[in-house]
Structure 1
């Protein structure tokens, strides 16, 4: 069994690293600290121009927090889907829920219509649904291509029992892709316990800022903040380490 590897990235260099490491697809985001938000049109175009053999799927999410969107946010997401499609993206990643924790069918359908023939992934908004099996059925009925999930737990390893049941229920009707806390050490176990064929992970390492002049008194965020002069970057080495774990699963 050959696994498909999708890497969660927040910039063009991440896509280049993923391509170099042999990944198949990236999910391009901004603001990974918030769980991933819509990247700028410029970032989408720059990333597409920088890689050639890897598919670039773009997340469409206007803000952090919950997944219950008002009409203005929905309109913005429709415009963003159309914009990334026109830019040449290979797929979009969306997610919208009702206040009661069900898949918002109307919003999902509108965003899928805006996507045209692009593949659609429903992101980890799925993990906030009240009934994952009803949500899975709704996504299948809507024609969504894949769903990203940690099995409604803090990591895909902890959520493996639910992921396995979702895979069994989905059959060939929709791809179930685990994501959340996947590493080279646990990937083989997750694959063995769930029988998934695609996996989603980030491979981030701390890197110092190149800034020489630094002001320790001013901060750009709120009270909960990361160090101002520290970056998280996607590395080819980190991706390769996880893929190596996946090869163990494929050989078993």
Structure 2
């Protein structure tokens, strides 16, 4: 069985690199450092205009941190979902939990409605759910198309036993897609251990900023700092190496 490859990206260039490498789908985000936040509408439109043979799914997440949202954040997510759909996105990626770690049904239903029939992925908010099996059944009942998970562990390798059981329980009712720490070194092991039909990964490499003038004093972020003059970019070579390693 052939695999479907989804690449987590944060730029239009990333979408182009994924298409060139032969990936099937991208999850378009901003702020990968925070686990992925809603990209700007301009980025969504530019990415859709730049590629032709790859599907672009847009994450809808207003901030980092937990997945418990207030009424204003929910309204923002509804608007962003509708805007992504109207822009021509091929799918959306959502996730919301209650304080008790259950799938937030009302919020999920509202976002599915805003998606207007687009394919819906429930992102790794799932990994913070209190009962993964109950959460899986809830997502199936709600009509979600796929769930992204590391198996509620630090990476897909540690979470592989749970992922395999989720795949077994899901059957053809929902796609269980491993994601979190997949590399060229472990992709084949992850697929073999889980029985997954789709995998999700990033392929980022460090790239120096083209800035010639550099001021070493100010920082644009907080105390946990990344270098101002260094970028992380998605590369076709990195994607191709994982696809080749997975062997399907």
| CA distance in structure 2 between the partners assigned to 1:130 and 1:54 by the alignment | 34
Give the aligned partner of residue 161 of structure 1.
161
In structure 2, runs of 5+ residues without a counterpart are none
Are 1:98 and 2:92 counterparts?
Answer: no
TM-score (norm 2): 1.00
Moved more, 184-193 or 5-14: 184-193
| CA distance in structure 1 between the partners assigned to 2:39 and 2:200 by the alignment | 18
Q: CA deviation at 1:99?
A: 0.3
Q: CA deviation at 1:231?
A: 0.1
Deviations 1:94-123 (A, max 9, x none): 000000000000000000000011000000
Spell out structure 1 runs of 4+ moving beyond 3 A: none
Give the aligned partner of residue 9 of structure 1.
9
| CA distance in structure 2 between the partners assigned to 1:223 and 1:124 by the alignment | 26
| CA distance in structure 2 between the partners assigned to 1:96 and 1:49 by the alignment | 30
Are 1:121 and 2:121 counterparts?
Answer: yes
Are 1:71 and 2:75 counterparts?
Answer: no
| CA distance in structure 2 between the partners assigned to 1:223 and 1:191 by the alignment | 38
TM-score (norm 1): 0.98
Q: CA deviation at 1:240?
A: 0.2
Are 1:198 and 2:175 counterparts?
Answer: no
Q: What is the total number of aligned residue pairs between the two structures?
A: 248
Deviations 1:17-58 (A, max 9, x none): 000000000000000000000000000000000000000000
Q: CA RMSD in A?
A: 0.4
| CA distance in structure 2 between the partners assigned to 1:179 and 1:157 by the alignment | 10
Deviations 1:62-84 (A, max 9, x none): 00000000000000000000000
